[in-house]
């Protein structure tokens, strides 16, 4: 089955307002920038995004944030985005901060058909006990807080430990970026750009992949495929200019 769409705009055309998007990337590494831009241009709003972070003020998911298109964010790290902090603290954005490994496993579980799982991460903290601020009002008061989660002790004696029940994440759409992909949706990521992309691809009910290099079926070594085509419904081939545009989140150099 040929899953290639002519343009990113065509690929995201059925993403409507209120949808939940699982978005690959880590910082600005491996983010589906062309698909994010197409969502922005489509004008949809009231979106919930599930991603490790929210880009920066002028790139990645930060583009949707600046345009006030995001209603809610499930993420792990938000320290590089000043507008994110402003919207969160002023009550314009709801934020569910989740431990990074837990977020990864929630996404993987969603793609594997596992509704929930126990993890030791967060035990004995507000992650388990509830009360983490999800949304403030304009005066800085907490109006939505995280609920308490089910916990259970596993092990006996000195080995006994509290574990927290975490629910899986299934998104309406997954947006990912791959180094190479074929027309059947099989994807290969390169080096650290792999990051959250396989997980976002798994947990999206409809997954859209932008690929830097589109190849024909059979050209990818099956042993090198990271995301099988069964998880991918649409593929967009990037132009050379789009594939080359990879911004650096924070450049640090030494004196010559």
127: Cβ contacts below 8 Å, ≥ 6 apart: 99, 121, 146, 149, 164
Distance between CA atoms of residues 190 and 136, nearest Å: 39
The predicted-structure confidence for 199-250, as pLDDT tens digits, reads as follows 999 999 999 999 999 999 999 999 999 999 999 999 999 999 999 999 888 8
Would you put residue 27 in left (φ > 0), alpha (ψ -120 to 50) or beta? left
The domain defined by 4-97+170-244 carries CATH number 3.40.1080.10: yes
Closest to 175 (Cα-Cα) out of 234, 222, 132: 234
Per DSSP, which regions of 61-119 are E strands?
70-75, 94-97, 116-119
Distance between CA atoms of residues 75 and 67, nearest Å: 19
| Token pair in block for residue 73 | 């964010």
Question: Which residues of the chain form CATH 3.40.1080.10?
Answer: 4-97+170-244
User: What is the pTM assigned to this prediction?
Assistant: 0.94
Closest to 81 (Cα-Cα) out of 103, 38, 52: 52
Listed as ranges, residues in the chain with pLDDT below 70 are none
Task: Write down the mean pLDDT value for the chain.
Answer: 96
């Amino acid at each position: 089955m040929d899953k290639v769409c002519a343009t990113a705009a065509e690929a995201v055309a059925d993403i409507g307002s209120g949808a939940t998007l699982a978005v690959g990337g880590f910082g600005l590494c491996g983010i589906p920038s062309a698909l994010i831009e197409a969502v922005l241009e489509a004008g949809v709003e009231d979106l919930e995004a599930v991603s490790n972070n929210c880009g920066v003020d002028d790139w990645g998911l930060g583009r949707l944030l600046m345009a006030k298109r995001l209603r809610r964010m499930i993420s792990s790290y938000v320290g590089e985005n000043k507008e994110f902090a402003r919207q969160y603290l002023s009550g314009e954005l709801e934020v569910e901060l989740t431990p990074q490994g837990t977020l990864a496993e929630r996404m993987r579980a969603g793609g594997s058909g596992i509704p929930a799982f126990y993890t030791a991460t967060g035990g004995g903290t507000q992650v388990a006990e509830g009360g983490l601020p999800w949304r403030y009002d304009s005066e800085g008061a907490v109006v939505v807080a995280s609920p308490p989660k089910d916990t259970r002790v596993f092990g006996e004696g000195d080995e006994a430990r509290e574990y927290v029940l975490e629910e899986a994440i299934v998104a309406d759409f997954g947006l990912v970026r791959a180094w190479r992909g074929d027309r059947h949706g099989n994807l290969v990521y390169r080096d650290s750009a792999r990051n959250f992309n396989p997980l976002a691809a798994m947990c999206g009910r409809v997954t859209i992949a932008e690929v830097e290099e589109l190849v024909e079926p059979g050209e990818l070594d099956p042993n090198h495929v990271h995301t099988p085509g069964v998880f991918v419904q649409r593929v967009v081939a990037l132009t050379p200019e789009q594939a080359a545009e990879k911004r650096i989140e924070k450049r640090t150099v030494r004196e010559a």
